[in-house]
């Protein structure tokens, strides 16, 4: 079995320490962080996702796999966050109300920090009020919302509306993403930017922050 297959298999079993060790081994073997993430960790999580859908595994198994994934992301963090040009920009990032999925959001944070953005992560199950309060408190230029459920993605409209009601809508860029979210959905709720993955989210945020900076100056 290759090291990447090992990572996928260990993650599926929820063996956090062993998954971390295999991730480190893969990096030591010269396998890229991107490949470790996509062909090892995410591949394993997709297998778990399929089994979860078919009721072959249940929430506890998925939770321990998620714990192994989050623990392994800590090791990958430094390598994924390429030391690019620092872009000034302040982001408030969270998973919307009712939604507890945080792995994608955590990846978005890692990638954005890698672009030099200051990211304030308000966690999961974040209400629109929490987004508004954090945006004010940190003087954010970007509010970024993640959702993994078709039942919670609609909360993103609540965030857009709440930012509007607070008079902040024209002062910041609203980004949305997560598996069920689409470009058409983004437009329909009046958000600004949809991206399909964490790396694209970080690139789009850095660009948006750069143009916000230009507007302020
Ligand atoms: Co949940 N779950 N889950 N789950 N879970 C899904 C999402 C599901 C697709 C599984 C399935 O049926 N196949 C399904 C959703 C169906 C739907 O609505 N369409 C589902 C369900 C139904 C549920 C529950 C309702 C199950 C239940 O209780 N009966 C429940 C809901 C709980 C809640 O949130 N209120 C639930 C619970 C859980 C756990 C708690 C057990 C656990 C989460 C643990 C955690 O996150 N710490 C969990 C997990 C792990 C999954 C799967 C297996 C994996 C999700 C994941 O982390 N993927 C998932 C099935 C799957 O995706 N294959 C599933 C890896 C991660 C890197 O990908 O988060 O998509 P992802 O992030 C991607 C992109 O989406 C994007 O970037 C990342 C890649 O670079 N992205 C952004 C994410 N946010 C972004 C923001 C951006 C831009 C891009 O800009 C701001």
This prediction has a pTM of: 0.90
Tell me what the mean pLDDT of segment 27-45 comes to: 94
Half-sphere exposure of 207 (CA within 13 A, CB side): 10
Q: Is the CB of 48 under 6 A from ligand 1?
A: yes
**How far apart are alpha carbons 101 and 147 in whole angstroms?**
7
Question: How far is ligand 1, taken at its centre, from the CA of residue 99, in Å?
Answer: 9
Q: β-pairing, 90-95 with 173-177? A: unpaired
Q: Which residue has the higher pLDDT, 213 or 79?
A: 79
Nearest residue by C-alpha to atom 35 in ligand 1? 99
Half-sphere exposure of 80 (CA within 13 A, CB side): 24
Is 45's C-beta closer than 6 angstroms to any atom of ligand 1? yes
86-103 residue pLDDT tens = 557 999 999 999 999 999
pLDDT in tens, 108-139: 998 898 788 999 999 999 999 999 999 999 99
Can you tell me which atom of ligand 1 is nearest the CA of 149? 18
Contact by Cβ (8 Å): 47, 12: yes
Question: Closest residue (by CA) to atom 57 of ligand 1?
Answer: 103
Q: How many other C-beta atoms lie within 10 A of the C-beta of residue 67?
A: 15
Quick: pLDDT tens for 138-177.
999 999 999 999 999 999 999 999 999 999 999 999 999 9
Among protein residues, the one whose CA lies closest to atom 1 of ligand 1? 101
Instruction: Give the other-Cβ count within 10 Å of 33's Cβ.
Output: 18
Given a contact cutoff of 8 angstroms between Cβ atoms, the answer to whether 101 and 153 are in contact is no
The percent of residues above 70 in pLDDT, for the chain, comes to: 94
**Phi–psi pair at 82, nearest 5 degrees:** -60, 140
Structure confidence at residue 216 (pLDDT): 40
Query: Residue 161: its pLDDT value, please?
Result: 98
- Structure tokens that stand for 128 in this block: 């629109």
Residue 53 Cβ inside 6 Å of ligand 1? The answer reads yes
Q: What's the confidence (pLDDT) of residue 88?
A: 73
The 3-state DSSP class for residue 41 equals: helix
Q: Is the confidence at residue 85, as pLDDT, over 60?
A: no
98-133: b (≥16 Cβ within 10 Å) or e: ebebbbbbbbbbbbbbbbbbbbebbebbbbbebbbb
- Crossing angle of the two packed helices 42-53 and 3-13, in degrees rounded to 10: 40
- Residues 84 and 87: their CA atoms lie apart, in Å, by 9
Which residue minimizes the CA distance to atom 59 of ligand 1?
49
Candidates 110, 139, 143; CA nearest to 128 is: 143
Report pLDDT for 146.
98
Give the residue carrying structure tokens 């939770």.
Answer: 63
Residue 213, pLDDT > 70, answer no
CB of 104 closer than 6 angstroms to any ligand 1 atom: yes
């Amino acid at each position: 079995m290759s090291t990447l297959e090992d990572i996928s298999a260990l993650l599926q079993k929820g063996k956090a320490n062993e998954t971390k060790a295999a991730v480190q081994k893969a990096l030591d073997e010269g396998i890229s962080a991107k490949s470790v993430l996509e062909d090892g960790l995410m591949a394993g999580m997709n297998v778990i996702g399929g089994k979860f859908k078919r009721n072959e595994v249940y929430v506890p198994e998925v939770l321990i796999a998620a714990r192994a994934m989050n623990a392994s992301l800590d090791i990958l963090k430094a390598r994924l966050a390429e030391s690019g040009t620092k872009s000034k920009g302040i982001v408030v990032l969270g998973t919307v109300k009712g939604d507890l999925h945080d792995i994608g959001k955590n990846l978005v944070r890692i990638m954005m920090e890698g672009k030099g953005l200051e990211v304030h992560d308000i966690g999961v199950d974040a209400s629109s009020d929490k987004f508004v309060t954090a945006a004010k408190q940190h003087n954010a230029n970007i509010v970024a919302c993640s959702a993994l459920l078709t039942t919670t993605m609609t909360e993103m409209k609540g965030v857009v509306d709440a930012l509007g009601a607070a008079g902040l809508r024209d002062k910041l860029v609203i980004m949305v993403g997560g598996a069920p979210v689409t470009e058409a959905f983004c437009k329909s709720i009046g958000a600004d930017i949809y991206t399909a993955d964490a790396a694209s989210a970080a690139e789009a945020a850095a660009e948006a922050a750069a143009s916000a900076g230009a507007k302020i100056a």
